[in-house]
Amino acid sequence: MKRKSTLSAIGGYQPFLFCAGMYIVALFFSIFICSAIFYAANPKKSMANKAVTASSKTSGAGQVLLTVTKK
């Protein structure tokens, strides 16, 4: 009896499909990592202005006194 096997044809494409899948995954992660680095180096103007005004409000609030006691 002859066996009809359709899976052997798919098995021949396995290395190609694996390489294509790994390429897509690497492309996705590289885009994510590069955009994260880009936005860390070049923040949006509105966010940068908010951070500057918030830090100026908290840094000039007044004098902070600290008492150190020795036991």
Residues 5-62: tens digit of each pLDDT? 556 677 788 999 999 999 999 999 999 999 999 999 988 887 666 665 655 555 555 6
Q: According to the 3-state scheme, what is the secondary structure of the chain?
A: CCCCCCHHHHHHCHHHHHHHHHHHHHHHHHHHHHHHHHHHHCCCHHHHHHHHHHHHHHHCCCCCCCCCCCC
Question: Whole-prediction pTM value?
Answer: 0.48
Q: Is residue 63 part of a domain?
A: no
Q: What is the pLDDT of residue 67?
A: 75
Q: Is residue 25 part of a domain?
A: yes
The structural domain count of the chain equals: 1
Q: Is residue 24 part of a domain?
A: yes
Distances (CA, A) of 39 to 14, 24, 26, 32: 37, 23, 20, 11
Vertex 13: Cα angle to 10 and 16 (nearest 5) = 155
